[in-house]
Amino acid sequence: MASLSHSCSKFQKMDNSELKETLYSYFPIIEEGAMNAIVKHSSYLKSTKGTKLIYEGKKHDYIYLIIKGSVKSYYSKDSKEVCVWFSLENEIIGTTSAIQGDFSKETIELLENSELIKLNIEKIKELTQTYLSISHLLTNLWEEHATFLEERLYQLQFLNSHERYKALIKATPEILQRVSLTDIASFLGVSRETLSRIRASFVTFVK
C-alpha cells in the first residue's frame, strides 16, 4: 500500500481461526472450504483516524470489512473534498473502479480509529471459478452496491437538501455524532452554513 498520510497502519495478530470465525459471522452462507480459501487472502487491520485506505488515482486490489469504526469516500476537486458516501460497522467498502482493476476515482479515509478485515479482491474473484458460494457472495455485494448508487442518484436528482438531510439521519441516526458537519454538508451538496439552517429548522419542526 502507498505511504499513509498519518501514522502507519498496524497489523495486529489475529490467527486464522479467529479471522475465519469473524468472517463467518458476516458471511454465514460460505461453506468451509471456500471460507478457508478466503482466509488465506484476508488479514486483520487496525488503523488510526485519518488513514487513507484507498487513494484517488491509484490502483488497489483490496476491499475492507468494517468491524469497528467509520470511513468516508470523497473526490478531490479544485483542492476541495466532495464526499460521496459514509460507511460504519458491518459494511463492505471499496471503490468500483479499483475492484475492476482501474485507477480509483475516489479516496477512502478513516473517520475514526478503526478495525477492519482487509480482503484481496483480485484473489477472491479468482476463487469464484472454484466456489459457487463465493460467486454468489460477490454477486450479492454488487447488487447491494448498485441499489445504493440508484438511491444516491435518486436523492441527488429529486430530493431537495432538507429531504436529503432527513433521509440521511433516518437511515443512519448516529451519523451526526460520528461525522463532521463539514463532511455531512459536502455529502448533501450544501455549504456548512446552509446545513446549520437545515438542522435548526429540522429541530424546530420536530419539536
- Dihedrals phi, psi of 197, to nearest 5 degrees: -70, -40
- Domain boundaries in the chain? 1-131
DSSP code at position 10: B
Distance CA 67, CA 111 (A): 14
Q: What is the mean pLDDT of each run of 10 residues along the chain (207 residues)?
A: 32 76 91 95 95 92 94 90 93 83 91 95 93 92 86 88 92 92 94 92 57
pLDDT in tens, 1-21: 222 233 334 445 678 889 999
Question: Superfamily for 1-131?
Answer: Jelly Rolls (2.60.120.10)
